[in-house]
Chains A and B, each alone.
Chain A
């Protein structure tokens, strides 16, 4: 039992005491014993202790929770601060006089809130940046390089943020670089497409659709950039190829223009092609200069020119061939027959021979012939002089036969002068021939080949001429002897018969009517070796002027006597018919004997001294025989340098005729119009 106190405890005690007093009263009333009273009082105290203990535990627990809360807050704060890289804001240790727990707690909570907010803000910043980074790196590296935008919670420091910023910047720079690169590539592509005539939009759309949009974001991925680079490379190659092709075409075009003398107007059209013929790759920048269409156009032009050239080639070939023939003709060379050239026209047309090749061959031949011509020039000049002299010689011989030559007539003085000159010239002939022979020999020795004149060896010609001349000379001498003999015989006769035969010896008759050309013919026979028999030879063989000659004088001596008896019938009309008939017999005999010689001389178809025999024959024929169509027209003056036998003209065939259409008769064979017949035009 405790006594009532004055303070609140006292109050309590009072209350408790009052309660206890009351309890005692009660007990007294009740009559509780002491032990029961003590026991109850003890129970009472125990129960009171229990309540106290409970309350104390509770308060203890509260205090512990509070401490825990504060510790938690502090821990979280520390974590946040460390994550954010800041110094811890608040620690218990740093502030021992913090005050009560509740105060502390109340103080720390807002700080925590504050930090939480800041952390969250910071985190958001991170997220933002990371997202940006993610976007850009996806743009750059493609979706494969996905960087998850996950924030590292443990590191939200400013430094990290700065790092991320730097990263982002780097990526942005990278992106802008790539954009620039892409732009550059696009620009290059554009210019390439323009030059090549390709569609730019289509090309870049194939690479990546985003590139085609003018405003949109261009893809800057590695892939895109690589493909752009590849495309540029390809197009560059194409450009180079086409440029090469175009330049080749331009070169061909220039060659063809050169070859065919194309007019300027045509060339102008392709000026833009040829101006680039030597340009390098980067110099060709005009639009469409290398487009497919343009190149095809140029190709078409080149092939057109080639066709033109090949059609002209034929003309060229023919022209060249004519040139070759002309040169050969002028220098008296026989052009070599070349099988390719011979059939040039047909061969070219049928495509079996390349005209350029044929042209080359002909050119080569022309060059060769020109060279030869040069070397032959000197000798040819001499030959011309010699042949001219021979012509004069034959003219002179004919002139000498002309009985009227001393008659004064128009131009008589001119012919006299000419005869004088001719005689002088004739005297020079032997010297000319010798000089020519020696020169020709020297030439032949030097060149190692024969010198031919229209297909015949010049030396043979000269030799023949010499031989013939000698024989002529011999014959002349013989005739002179004969005359002497005749003179003697006449004198004998005179002595025998006492009368003179007619002074006109037919042989020596120079003047007189043309009819006596029969005698003149035989006189000619004396001098020029059987003009008449020659004519018969010609008649028989139709060869231009082959001299048939008396061979040996021994054998000929009997024959020598034959003509004189004929000639010595002064009063018998010596028609050439008679004489020529007999002479023909002679001629034929001689002909047989001389057949060998004839064979040899057949080749001398362009012997100038054939002219006199020709002339003789013709004169005879004119006078006394039915004129036959002579293949060579009658020259009144000696012909110029003679034409080879091969070129004797054949008489024109009368056209296979069309019966004039009257009464509906049909045409026969080749038809001709009236105009063609009027002109004498015939198809060959």
Chain B
């Protein structure tokens, strides 16, 4: 359990964490189950409230991403090029299909009833998980990307894909033959993470240079005028800015505000509409690798796990913290208009 050295202000540490880096973690849409993928080649299912490990799936290589289908099954993307379906009750997994290179991202679209994976083989693949296993039956389509896929995010029928080389493709899941929009990231440095706003109007994109861009889908002048970028996860030291990659973005399901996690070990909560930072949590032992809000927004799972940004070096042990979320930390504070 939580070591004495860990202050309670970080949240409750999850017991039985993975033995190596954490690549991603996600809360279920229906309960407080938490799915965690790790570099120790495992995917673990926890009951976050009960702090209990419920299932564990071993893979052939480090697992780079995971997502829920529902409370009985989920999917994983691994560095052994496989996309797997995980069945929680039986603790069994089967291979849904393969890419030609490590699979970096996986997302399940409820709107389309399809699974979407992005890989370093520069393709996006859509799978229909209802069929029998075997790539011939489940693969719906393969869509070439300009570069290796680094991150992807879904909202409604929209899919945003961020690749190496700062490319961003926006798709409509109903017509995957062509991207709806082809964009270049507004930020000058490598994209780390992309997440769509819950209200479906746009997406947030973070880079390795301590910056986040807020973008909008609508290409009209009015909407594009609203886009902006802000600096975050930086430290001023001796007159210079030390700049940290922003690894994770998570939107609060109720308030639409969002949290970012960086290699500086901090989690910040932002109000995108009012362009303010709402809160900064206490510093975590090492880089923040992943963040996830629970379905009601009352819990925040924080993966404190070194993300290899400085190569191989000794680091704090990898841990997952579950912290309760107070309204004051996430509720937007509209601008107070000056009295007339």
**A-to-B contact residues, CB < 8 Å:** 261, 263, 658, 660-664, 667, 671-679, 681, 683
Asked if B215 is an interface residue, CB under 8 A from chain A, the answer is no
Q: Please state if A261 and B136 are interface contacts (CB–CB under 8 Å).
A: yes
Picked from A662, A675, A679, A683, the residue with its CB within 8 Å of the CB of B243 is: A662
Q: Please state if A663 and B309 are interface contacts (CB–CB under 8 Å).
A: no
Q: Please state if B308 and A677 are interface contacts (CB–CB under 8 Å).
A: yes
In the bound complex, how far is the Cα of B128 from the Cα of A263, in angstroms?
14
Q: Please state if B164 and A674 are interface contacts (CB–CB under 8 Å).
A: no
B60 shortest CB reach to chain A, Å: 13
Q: A671-B165, A675-B23, A678-B308 are in contact. Are A661 and B208 (CB under 8 A)?
A: yes
Interface SS of chain B: helix, strand, loop or mixed? Answer: loop
Q: Please state if B243 and A664 are interface contacts (CB–CB under 8 Å).
A: yes
In the bound complex, how far is the Cα of B313 from the Cα of A660, in angstroms?
13
In the bound complex, how far is the Cα of B311 from the Cα of A676, in angstroms?
11
Q: Please state if B308 and A675 are interface contacts (CB–CB under 8 Å).
A: yes
**B-to-A contact residues, CB < 8 Å:** 21, 23, 39, 62, 64, 79, 101-102, 104, 120, 131, 136-137, 148, 150, 164-165, 189-190, 192, 208-209, 240-243, 245, 307-311
Residues of chain A within 8 A (CB-CB) of B209 are 661, 664
Q: Which residue of A lies closest to B243 (CB)?
A: A664
Interface SS of chain A: helix, strand, loop or mixed? Answer: loop
Q: A663-B241, A679-B62, A679-B79 are in contact. Are A674 and B120 (CB under 8 A)?
A: no
Residues of chain A within 8 A (CB-CB) of B64 are 675
Residues of chain B within 8 A (CB-CB) of A674 are 245, 307-309
Residues of chain A within 8 A (CB-CB) of B131 are 263
B300 shortest CB reach to chain A, Å: 23
Q: Which residue of A lies closest to B310 (CB)?
A: A660
Q: Please state if A661 and B189 are interface contacts (CB–CB under 8 Å).
A: yes
Q: Please state if A678 and B136 are interface contacts (CB–CB under 8 Å).
A: no
Given A661-B243, A663-B242, A679-B62, 8 more A-B residue pairs with CB atoms under 8 Å apart are A662-B243, A671-B165, A673-B150, A673-B192, A675-B23, A677-B308, A678-B39, A683-B148
Q: Which residue of A lies closest to B240 (CB)?
A: A663
Q: Please state if A673 and B164 are interface contacts (CB–CB under 8 Å).
A: yes
Q: A-B pairs with the 10 shortest C-beta distances?
A: A678-B308, A674-B308, A661-B208, A674-B309, A674-B307, A660-B310, A679-B79, A671-B190, A664-B243, A673-B150
Q: Which residue of A lies closest to B151 (CB)?
A: A673
B286 shortest CB reach to chain A, Å: 13
In the bound complex, how far is the Cα of B235 from the Cα of A662, in angstroms?
11
In the bound complex, how far is the Cα of B310 from the Cα of A677, in angstroms?
10
12 A-B contact pairs sorted by A residue (CB < 8 Å): A660-B311, A661-B309, A673-B148, A673-B164, A674-B309, A675-B23, A676-B148, A678-B21, A678-B39, A681-B79, A681-B102, A681-B120
A249 shortest CB reach to chain B, Å: 24
Residues of chain A within 8 A (CB-CB) of B240 are 663
Residues of chain A within 8 A (CB-CB) of B150 are 673
Residues of chain B within 8 A (CB-CB) of A663 are 240-243
B152 shortest CB reach to chain A, Å: 14
Residues of chain A within 8 A (CB-CB) of B23 are 675
B75 shortest CB reach to chain A, Å: 18
In the bound complex, how far is the Cα of B309 from the Cα of A661, in angstroms?
8
In the bound complex, how far is the Cα of B240 from the Cα of A678, in angstroms?
28
Residues of chain A within 8 A (CB-CB) of B101 are 681
Residues of chain B within 8 A (CB-CB) of A677 are 308, 311
Residues of chain B within 8 A (CB-CB) of A661 are 189-190, 208-209, 243, 245, 309
Residues of chain A within 8 A (CB-CB) of B62 are 679
Q: Which residue of A lies closest to B135 (CB)?
A: A315
Q: Please state if B242 and A675 are interface contacts (CB–CB under 8 Å).
A: no
Residues of chain B within 8 A (CB-CB) of A662 are 242-243
Q: A261-B136, A661-B208, A681-B101 are in contact. Are A673 and B241 (CB under 8 A)?
A: no
In the bound complex, how far is the Cα of B242 from the Cα of A322, in angstroms?
50
Q: Please state if B120 and A676 are interface contacts (CB–CB under 8 Å).
A: yes
A265 shortest CB reach to chain B, Å: 10
Q: Which residue of A lies closest to B164 (CB)?
A: A671
Q: Which residue of A lies closest to B142 (CB)?
A: A311
B238 shortest CB reach to chain A, Å: 11
Q: Which residue of B lies closest to A260 (CB)?
A: B136
Q: Which residue of A lies closest to B207 (CB)?
A: A661
In the bound complex, how far is the Cα of B190 from the Cα of A675, in angstroms?
13
A27 shortest CB reach to chain B, Å: 153
In the bound complex, how far is the Cα of B20 from the Cα of A675, in angstroms?
13
Interface centre among A261, A672, A675, A683 (most CB of B within 10 A): A675
In the bound complex, how far is the Cα of B192 from the Cα of A658, in angstroms?
14
Q: Please state if A667 and B136 are interface contacts (CB–CB under 8 Å).
A: no
Residues of chain A within 8 A (CB-CB) of B165 are 671
Residues of chain A within 8 A (CB-CB) of B208 are 661
In the bound complex, how far is the Cα of B101 from the Cα of A673, in angstroms?
14
Q: Which residue of A lies closest to B122 (CB)?
A: A683
Residues of chain B within 8 A (CB-CB) of A261 are 136
In the bound complex, how far is the Cα of B102 from the Cα of A679, in angstroms?
9
Q: Please state if B310 and A675 are interface contacts (CB–CB under 8 Å).
A: no
Residues of chain A within 8 A (CB-CB) of B190 are 658, 661, 667, 671, 673
